[in-house]
Amino acid sequence: MRETPQGPSTRSVGFQPPAIGDEEIEAVAATLRSGWLTTGPRAAELESRFAEYLQARHALAVASGTAALHLSLVALGAGTGDEVITTPITWPATANVIVHSGATPVFADVREGDLNIDPAHAASLVTERTKAVVPVHLAGQPADLDPLWALGLPVVEDAAHALESSYRGRKLGALSEATCFSLYATKNVAAGEGGVITTDSDELAAAVRDLRVTRRGDGSRYDVPVPGYKANLPDVLAAIALVQLDKLERHRAARARQFAAYDEAVAELDGIDPLERDPRDSHAYHLYVVRIEPARAGATRDEYQLALGREGIATSIHFLPVHRLTWYRERFPGQPRLPVAERAGEEVLSLPLSPAHADEDIAAVIAALQRLHARFTRRH
């Protein structure tokens, strides 16, 4: 046992270490031996597996979740002069790709309970220039989709956190115009990098296929029907994702157990509250996010994060409100305040969560949180 100036700490706990085993290593080796360095049969297999799992007509493997969102917006025709409504409580990529498409991001505030986009505020921001709405299923809790669909605009779901989520009993994946997943290193199916777009729309799938990569086509002479990006997924990464898909249920069960342990612990810690989960939906258990309310928890989120770090426990923040980050603040100086998102940005803290963690790791996080809470609340 190691002593730190702040007290006892038995182990250091990473935030979201990847759960990669010998199967993934062997799958990569087999891919390299197969000669497919770039996109090939494994990417195609990953697409079929995603389409089947998500009950979608089409699944298109791409280079990242960012590319999935970007290509979906471009395929829908978003461009200069258009507006796209999204949430500020997201990874900045969600807003960046709106900018890259040429359109203007318009930020709606979020709901207090789950920090997903507030549909009523989104509705109030619709103009004749609104091209699409991009909700994010934060931490794995589906956004409230019905009132967004009711706006009559294309919806591109940012489902980077929501691979296993269901909305009112229906699997996410083919419910909106496009649903975008990420295979980034921390995600529930982690390939390192990668993304998948799912859709039931033949037109959208065809448009994304044209945009995703500059293809040579069938003949020896090639042509450019559409100027493509370079956003295809290499087979080496698809091979990792395929193994991770096989482990999906086992990994989900591990994360569900970690959620239950955290739920039980934070129920006893005044001022440390998990984001709400809607019992009508199925949660992907991607991130365990708590809000730390300083008046009750005795210290700010930043103080808790620092103190946990000193005890060897890595945490993260999901998310700082995008509209307050430098480029967005400077580019849109007239952006109205979004009070719920701005307060949440000060209070959210994500705790370690990964199938790679042992129960003892999660127990160490809980013990540290309890110790800190006792210390911080005594101080007041």
Binding positions for ligand PLP, rule: CB under 6 A: 64-66, 90-91, 93-94, 136, 158, 160-161, 182, 184, 195
**Using CB atoms, what's the residue nearest to ligand PLP?**
65
Residues 219-228 as b or e (16 or more Cβ within 10 Å = b)? eeeeeeeeeb
Give the nearer residue to ligand PLP in terms of CB position, either 286 or 301.
286
The DSSP bridge partners found for residue 104 are 83
User: Over the Cα atoms of the chain, what is R_g?
Assistant: 21
The DSSP bridge partners found for residue 105 are 84
State how beta strands 2-4 and 7-9 pair: antiparallel
User: Residues 183, 65: contact at Cβ < 8 Å?
Assistant: yes
Say which residues have a Cβ less than 8 Å from residue 333's Cβ, sequence separation at least 6.
none
Give the nearer residue to ligand PLP in terms of CB position, either 36 or 184.
184
SS3 content of the chain, % helix, strand, coil (to 5): 40, 15, 40
Give the nearer residue to ligand PLP in terms of CB position, either 94 or 258.
94
Q: How far is the CB of 115 from ligand PLP (least distance, A)?
A: 12
User: Residues 208, 226: contact at Cβ < 8 Å?
Assistant: no
Q: How far is the CB of 310 from ligand PLP (least distance, A)?
A: 27
Angle at 187 between CA 182 and CA 191, to 5 degrees: 75
Q: How far is the CB of 218 from ligand PLP (least distance, A)?
A: 31
Give the nearer residue to ligand PLP in terms of CB position, either 88 or 355.
88
Phi, psi of 139 (to 5 degrees): 70, -10
Complete DSSP assignment for 238-262: HHHHHHHHHTHHHHHHHHHHHHHHH
The yes-or-no answer on residue 187 being catalytic is yes
Q: How far is the CB of 196 from ligand PLP (least distance, A)?
A: 10
Give the nearer residue to ligand PLP in terms of CB position, either 107 or 184.
184
Cα–Cα dist 16/320, whole Å: 19
Q: Which of 33, 78, 84, 37 is nearest to 232 (CA)?
A: 37
Give the nearer residue to ligand PLP in terms of CB position, either 320 or 369.
320
Q: Running DSSP on this structure, what letter comes out for residue 110?
A: B
Give the catalytic positions in this structure. Answer: 187
